[in-house]
Amino acid sequence: MEKMSGKLFLIVGPSGSGKGTVIKALEKKFKGFVYPISYTTRELRAREKDGESYHFISKEKFKRMIAEDDFLEYAIVHSDNYYGTAKKEIVEALKGGAVVVREVDIQGFHAIRKIIPRENLVSIFMKVPNLNDLKGRILMRGEIAPEELQHRLDSAAKELAQAGDCDYQVHNEWGKIKICVAQVEKIILEEIDGLY
Ligand code: 5GP
């Protein structure tokens, strides 16, 4: 891959660990960063809008995009839904020197690590105290089918076991999301010091 001057921050961690909340807080504070929207084949949740949290597309469209090499990475997450980060937006932003922030599952992180040069990539894993706590958070987000909940908890156990593969780990204790946001901000600001 040709030389890039920007930095891609990957926020990794189980479903319900607070990645979305951290990114929303960053979006509010750091308007100059780039926050790419991924593509998914999962159903919209209540209060979600197409083009806000994701581009919601059919499996057929997703497969066409795979064939056209549109993704930097894609993965099947929690049983049978596809999620993918669009290549062009991220690569262009990094070439232009931007700070890019995106959440991905652990598979996405491993795939991106093989493509994006070491000096342009920082990974931050969000840990949670235990799976019971995580279950509570997922249930609080809205209605979820029991099988889907189980898939998410199974994935969480696997993801937590790989937390050490990321550059940084932050702890999201129940009710202390602000501390977690501050930790992520600090990591980003230290990592981009000198870049701006
Ligand atoms: P959710 O359905 O809760 O929005 O996301 C499910 C999981 O998919 C989360 O762990 C989330 O970080 C991950 N995810 C979101 N976007 C992407 C993506 O573009 N690629 C990959 N590999 N995972 C993603």
Q: What angle do CA 126, 129, 135 make, to 5 degrees?
A: 90
Superfamily for domain range 7-192: P-loop containing nucleotide triphosphate hydrolases (3.40.50.300)
pLDDT, tens digit, 9 for 90 and up, residues 117-153: 999 999 999 999 888 888 988 898 888 889 989 988 9
pTM of the model: 0.93
- C-beta of residue 101 within 8 angstroms of C-beta of residue 26: yes
Q: Which of 77, 151, 166 maximizes ligand 1 atoms within 8 Å of its Cβ, making it the mutation to test the pocket? A: 77
Distance separating alpha carbons of residues 113 and 181, to the nearest angstrom = 23
Q: Closest residue (by CA) to atom 6 of ligand 1?
A: 15
Report pLDDT digits (tens) over 16-44: 889 999 999 999 999 999 999 999 999 99
Q: Span 95-112, mean pLDDT?
A: 96
Does the beta carbon of 17 lie inside 6 Å of ligand 1? no
